[in-house]
Amino acid sequence: MKLENLTPAKGSTKTRKRIGRGEGSGRGGTSTRGMNGAGSRSGFSHKIGFEGGQMPLQRRMPKFGFKNPTRVEYKAVNVATLETIAQKFNLTEIGVDDIKAAGFAGKNDLIKVLGNGEIKAAVTVTADAFSKSAITKIEAAGGKAVVAE
Once rounded to an integer, what is the mean pLDDT over residues 10-29? 94
* Contact criterion met (CB below 8 Å) for 116 and 80: yes
Helices (H), 19-95: 57-60, 79-89
Once rounded to an integer, what is the mean pLDDT over residues 102-106? 94
Phi, psi of 54 (to 5 degrees): -65, 150
* Cα–Cα distance, 81 to 117 (Å, whole number): 8
pTM: 0.60
Quote the mean pLDDT of the chain: 94
Distance of CA 3 to the CA centre of its chain: 46
Q: Find all residues with CB under 8 Å of 17, minimum gap 6, and list them.
A: 27, 32
Domain map of the chain by residue range?
18-65, 74-147
Could you give the C-alpha distances from 2 to 6, 8, 9, 13, 66, in angstroms and in order? 7, 14, 16, 21, 65
pLDDT digits (tens, 9 = 90+) for 58-103: 999 999 999 999 999 999 999 999 999 999 999 999 999 999 999 9
Of the pLDDT bands very low, low, confident and very high (cuts 50, 70, 90), residue 118 is very high
Residue 149 has pLDDT above 90, yes or no: no
pLDDT for 1: 84
Which burial class, exposed, middle or buried, applies to 134 when counting CB atoms under 10 A from its CB (0-12, 13-18, 19+)?
A: buried
Of the pLDDT bands very low, low, confident and very high (cuts 50, 70, 90), residue 51 is very high
CATH topology of domain 74-147: Ribosomal Protein L15; Chain: K; domain 2 (3.100.10)
Helix (H, G, I), strand (E, B) or coil at 77: strand
